[in-house]
Structure 1
């Protein structure tokens, strides 16, 4: 890690999905660089990392009462948030659109889109009061490109991408920046499970997945976390409504 931990010093950050691979790496890096971090996730999920500046909270991002209560508690404990990282998300079942069910649709849109909107809705008033804030929403390379395997997931990530741009336009006058981050294939527990369950075996699975990328490997969670750190910090104070793609070049070809 970079040993100059001053990039978000004194700021309060909320990270949803904070106990997952990408969320926990993000929470740890923000804490290392001086932020007071609230790591929010569903009850019962164990924390992947610990840090004296990370405080754990349970939340259901699909439930407005749960979101409002969690943000109220964070604000009381750590102060009104300066940074919101919406990293919580699910992929849902694979299959073409005609094979999905209404419950499949509702679940993935509730977590991936409604959850981002609810968190933003309840964090923004405090940021307006401060006259500043940075919101980073996790989309995906598949919020930019399509794909045949999980179309509902892709649709949610496209929605997050455009919600980010719309909120950037709406809140810029209040000093609030909103950007989306777009990871490619990442070395996470979810990816490793998919590789182990594939019919072709892990080695062939990864070759098929990233072998044709300009950088032919998966990304590491910390490589996404550093992108979030940039967007969260004042270094990016003229950056809003943008897409930060970290994908090993997948979308370049």
Structure 2
């Protein structure tokens, strides 16, 4: 089987500028978001996986957040989105000053991201189990429109795989060979059912390509994100320290 456009590392879209901040700026950007109900440990578990995706993989242009030729990134595990907002600010989608109002009445930055208020956000999320089914529909929609170069990336937490809707989506995507669809499972040992090994076996049994990575190692994440997977959707199981250890 020949390789497809989904098997190679992407280039930035035309017109994309260098980001105003780097990875080392993320702690200071996150520190600007204060208040209750922050889900800080859960947010922190996503930071490195989000950064490497935005920095090295996703074809997105903050000057054209709704461009048809963009990749689609869906943060399914939308509770505790501070690291997501920090990455969006670092990449130029948000004015960092907006971070100061996080969670307040008139702020666009809620405790769950809102696609109608935040540039770069594809779905309003937070109800666990929705993102991967929406990702399947998005991949099918792009295929129907003849947009073969655009990839769909969905990020979930390991506990989201307790939701049955995700397993239906895994089966469907594998059976239909949706090779534009990518899943990142950030595993901080929060799931009620199963463990990392059983989750990996479940994903591959559904017909997906799978890579495992250290969720704090940027080079390892990039390797896992960009592995060839012709004719199959691709998943990355990114392990980080257990939630109770932070």
Q: TM-score, normalised by structure 2?
A: 0.41
Q: Which has the higher contact order (CA 8 A, sep 6+)?
A: 2
